[in-house]
Chains A and B, each alone.
Chain A
Amino acid sequence: MSEPLVQIRQLTKHYTRGKQKVEVLHGIDLDIGRGDFVALMGPSGSGKTTLLNLIGGLDTPTAGSVSVDGKRIDQFKAGELARWRAEHVGFVFQFYNLLPVLSAQKNVELPLLLRKMGGAERAKRAQVALSLVGLAERAGHKPSELSGGQEQRVAIARALVTDPTLLVCDEPTGDLDRKTADEILGLLQVLNREHGKTIIMVTHDPKAAEYAARTVHLDKGLLVDAAPAH
């Protein structure tokens, strides 16, 4: 494995739902190398999305540590974590989560609003990102005018536009048919292999996991095994 980009040590996460305490992750250790493409698999409730959220800085752990590129993000305050996400992480969701009132181009420009750059530079970068996912000609279309696969491509372009260190994908093909899913997964693979993007992807789908370089299985909040690279 290449030099670890993500180092997770004794990671534990508990939630409180009403009066009930839910233990989701129990002391997980995991390393993910720079340029790796990891699929996180496991049954529902196994804690894979929680783990992904912790790696992506969307949530904070109850105990243990998460280091990304040498930084202990579990020790960041909310504001620092937000700025770190803006700088280093691209997110792709199952249901795309594009803003319906914005065109594809403007959805992709959205993360760049947090950067100090002019409107022309933002537009140019968004066009490059859309070209990369093969949607340059649909830039002016709103999400409602795009197919599911196209929406997910826009979401990937949005995740890529800031040139993040890490791409975090939560069931990116869960809402797509097989053919479109294969296209999206192929795109992710290209981004990993040709552009060196480190990708962590949660999936239920064994076929999707085949696109990853490595598969990590979780069950009841524990790592079960780590499958070798395909």
Chain B
Amino acid sequence: MTRTGFVLAQLFHRKTRTSLTLLSVVAAFVLFGLLQALNLVFSAGADFVGATRLVVQSRVSFTQSLPLRMVPEMDAIPGVQAVMFQQWFGAKFREDTQIFAFAVEPERLHKVYPEWVMPEEHWQAFRDTRTGMIVGRVLADKYGWKVGDKIPVQSTIFPQKDGSKDWTFDLVGIYDGIDEQWQRQTVGGMYINHAYFQEASQFGGNMAGIIVLRLEDPDMAESIATLVDKRYENSPDETKTQTEKDFNVGFVKQLGDIGLIVRWILFAVFFTLLLVVGNTMAQSVRERIPQLAVLKTLGFTDNAVLGLVLAETFALCAIGGLVGLGLATLLGIIVAQAAGPMLPIAIDARVWLAGLVAIVLLTLAVGLLPALRARRLRIVDALAGR
């Protein structure tokens, strides 16, 4: 018999109770893994973009458009290398499949977002084809689109001049991300040629949802943002200029503070778990007081007994936690496959690391008090049932 074997044998001295507790730990860590991964998905957009771009939006809301006349004014700002604008198109493909589609000027997009990589002839085709459209690789793969296809989409906002909201575009290019993180962002991207949109749409052609400035020097971000906002202060089109990262975070928060929601759910889950596992361990130690006294009689020191109880708690939390995270990883794969690229959920090393920290914290939170009680017990009193 090894010490580990002894700890496990002690842990399962009440098989049903330990198994049920273990199940609750597993369930909690499945939730933990999935929610943590969800949190990462929603915060991922903000993590890898730098301060080399500023996003200008209406001070009121990004749903309020800005006039296109601002674009050349921003072109002229010293320190601004390139400017692009985009208008939210609100595309739907087939039934209710929402796609992130924007009307853009191809050349401006190319200059401001070098992270989108595509053969030069495709960029050229995008510039030259008024009904042209480019899409991200993941999105194209999802629907099996290829260059040359005609893609019918429906705008949820903009009707054509004949009143129809059905639009058809020519797929002239499929872009990739410059690295793995940007590649993941090709999940929802669809760009249409703004010139065609301006010409064919009943309204909105002279407006932009946001204007993006690519800076020569990231250190100038603050001064240029201040300059832009000052320039349009007290005008009908007051602006709010922020880094791309801040904009992305703000965009996600339009849906609600996912991180906060996830933290509250996890807090509730772990608080319940704390009570369940804490009660199990307290009860387990209480009913084994004579046995713990026997261990001390045999020569186990107070600290050794404390260590044994903590080891039992750790075993319970670790087995449950690791099984839970393992299941969450499998479920994550299933969910990611079912949801497709719109929810690229993945239980990666960061989630596992957070899970391991949670296991250790849970062990200490629920195991320390029973362990201290076991450490304190006096042999003669415990053996006499006092």
A-side residues, CB < 8 A to B, are 50, 53, 56, 58-59, 78-79, 82-87, 91, 93, 97, 99-102, 105-106, 109-111, 113-114, 119, 122-123, 158
Contacts and interface: CB of A to CB of B under 8 A. Distances in A.
B287 to A, nearest CB: 11
B298 A58 contact: no
Contacts of B295: 110
A101 B12 contact: yes
B286 to A, nearest CB: 16
Interface of B: 1-3, 5-6, 9-10, 12-13, 290-291, 294-304, 379-380, 383
Contact of B299 (A106, A111, A119, A123): A111
Nearest to A84: B299
B298 A106 contact: no
B298 A111 contact: yes
Contact of B380 (A59, A91, A158): A59
Nearest to A15: B380
Nearest to A159: B298
Contacts of A58: 297, 379-380, 383
26 contacts: A56-B297, A58-B379, A58-B383, A59-B380, A79-B301, A82-B296, A82-B299, A82-B304, A83-B299, A85-B299, A86-B298, A91-B298, A93-B383, A97-B291, A99-B10, A102-B1, A102-B6, A102-B9, A105-B1, A106-B1, A106-B9, A110-B1, A113-B1, A113-B6, A114-B304, A123-B1
Contacts of A158: 298
Nearest to B10: A101
A85 B298 contact: yes
Contact of B290 (A84, A97, A114): A97
A114 B298 contact: yes
Q: Is the interface of A mostly helix, strand, loop or mixed?
A: helix
A172 B353 CA distance: 52
A82 B1 contact: no
Contacts of A109: 1
The 3 closest A-B pairs by CB, nearest first: A86-B299, A82-B301, A101-B13
Contacts of B290: 97
A82 B300 contact: yes
Given A58-B379, A93-B383, A119-B2, A99 B291 contact: yes
A78 B302 contact: yes
A54 to B, nearest CB: 10
A87 B299 CA distance: 8
Contacts of A82: 296, 299-302, 304
B313 to A, nearest CB: 17
Contacts of A53: 379-380
Contacts of B291: 97, 99
A119 B297 contact: no
Contacts of B2: 119
A53 B1 CA distance: 29
Contacts of A50: 380
Contact of A119 (B1, B301, B383): B1
A83 B296 CA distance: 10
